């Protein structure tokens, strides 16, 4: 089996080299390809990617000519993900690729079709600001209520899934509504979803964190919207 690591990128010039190095370095016992989608960065990220990946045969870079959002960048990446299993990886350093073996094991053992890396199963939520934690838990609880699930972290970046998932659902969200859309459509199709605990290195908004309260409002309404539409 082979894996595709899809990395949406927007203005991450300070972390992009390090995260790609970490993804390259982690040993999962499988062949990896890294698909990077730059969402029209303006801080030099695109130029850094061009210089950095020129000699890396397993790294592919695609660029948007305007900023469309994380969901759109992921959809672009998914179009070129030709492997058996796909892993979503943020371009900052909040999520550590050293978790890949742990995330992949449940799928490789055929105990799940989709695996979420939960930041809360290891009690790392103690380092979260209250409103960040409360907002996440509320959205996850709302999703659980509508879909009869028991997830702890719907909005986690780390989602790992088999290639048939993308063949079975149609994704449309451009921005952070991707999380409730993906989760709702996977749940409604009856795929097996499992969570495993992960470490999480939270960064502040001053350090470049992009998900804010406006995005939570959008995600709140998206939970309802995707219950009523395909």
Summarize pLDDT for 53-77 with one digit per residue, the tens: 777 788 999 999 999 999 999 999 9
**Of 126, 138, 129, 130, whose CA–CA distance to 217 is shortest?**
138
Is residue 192 scored above 70 in pLDDT? yes
Burial class (CB in 10 A: 0-12, 13-18, 19+), 110: exposed
pLDDT at res. 56: 78
Provide the pairing of β-strand 114-118 with 159-162.
antiparallel
Say if residues 194 and 114 touch (Cβ distance below 8 Å). yes
Of the ranges 49-58, 141-150, 158-167, which one carries the lowest mean pLDDT score?
Answer: 49-58
**133 against 15, higher pLDDT:** 15
pTM of structure: 0.90
pLDDT at 226: 78
- Each residue's pLDDT tens digit, 21-41: 999 999 999 999 999 999 999
Q: Are 213 and 134 in contact (CB under 8 A)?
A: no
Across the chain, mean pLDDT equals 89
Is the pLDDT assigned to residue 123 strictly greater than 80? no
Q: Mean pLDDT across the stretch 78-84?
A: 92
pLDDT for position 2: 94
Cβ proximity of 158 and 207 under 8 Å? no
Domain boundaries, the chain: 2-228
> Angle at the Cα of 60 (from 55 to 65), degrees rounded to 5?
120
Average pLDDT over residues 113-135: 78
pLDDT at 210: 58
Q: CA 5 → CA 20, 42, 100, 135, distances in Å? A: 10, 23, 10, 28
**Who's near 66: CB < 8 A, 6+ residues apart?**
40
Dist. CA 38–CA 156, nearest whole Å: 20
The distance of Cα 147 from the centroid of its chain, to the nearest Å, equals 20
CATH architecture of 2-228: Alpha-Beta Complex (3.90)
Label each residue of the chain as H, E or C.
CEEEEEEEECCCCCCHHHHHHHHHHCCCCCEEEEEEEECCCCCCHHHHHHHHHCCCCCEEEEECCCCCCHHHHHHHHHHCCCCCEEEECCCCCCCCHHHHHHHHHHHHCCCCCEEEEECCCCCHHHHCCHHHHHHHHHHHHHHHHHHCCCCCCCCCCCEEEEHHHHHHCCCCCCCCCHHHHHHHHHHHCCCCEEEEECCCCCCCHHHCCCCCHHHHHHHHHHHHHHHHCC
């Amino acid at each position: 089996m082979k894996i595709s690591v899809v990395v949406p990128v927007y203005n991450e010039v300070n972390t992009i080299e390090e995260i790609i190095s970490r993804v390259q370095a982690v040993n999962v016992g499988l062949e990896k390809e890294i698909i990077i989608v730059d969402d029209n960065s303006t801080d030099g990220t695109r130029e850094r990617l061009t210089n950095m990946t020129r000699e890396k045969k397993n790294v592919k870079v695609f660029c948007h000519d305007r900023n469309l959002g994380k969901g759109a960048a992921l959809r672009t990446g998914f179009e070129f993900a030709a492997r058996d299993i796909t892993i979503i990886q943020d371009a900052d350093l909040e999520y550590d690729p050293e978790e890949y073996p742990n995330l992949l094991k449940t799928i490789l053992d055929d105990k799940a079709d989709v695996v979420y890396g939960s930041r809360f199963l290891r009690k790392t939520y103690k380092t979260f600001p209250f409103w960040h934690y409360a907002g996440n838990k509320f959205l996850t609880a709302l999703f659980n209520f509508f879909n009869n699930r028991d997830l702890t972290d719907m909005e986690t970046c780390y989602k790992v899934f088999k290639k048939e998932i993308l063949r079975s659902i149609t994704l449309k969200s451009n921005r952070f509504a991707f999380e409730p859309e993906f989760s709702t459509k996977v749940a409604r199709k009856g795929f097996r979803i499992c969570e495993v605990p992960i470490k999480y290195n939270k960064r502040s908004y001053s350090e470049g964190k992009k998900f804010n309260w406006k995005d939570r409002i959008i995600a709140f309404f998206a939970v309802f919207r995707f219950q009523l539409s395909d």
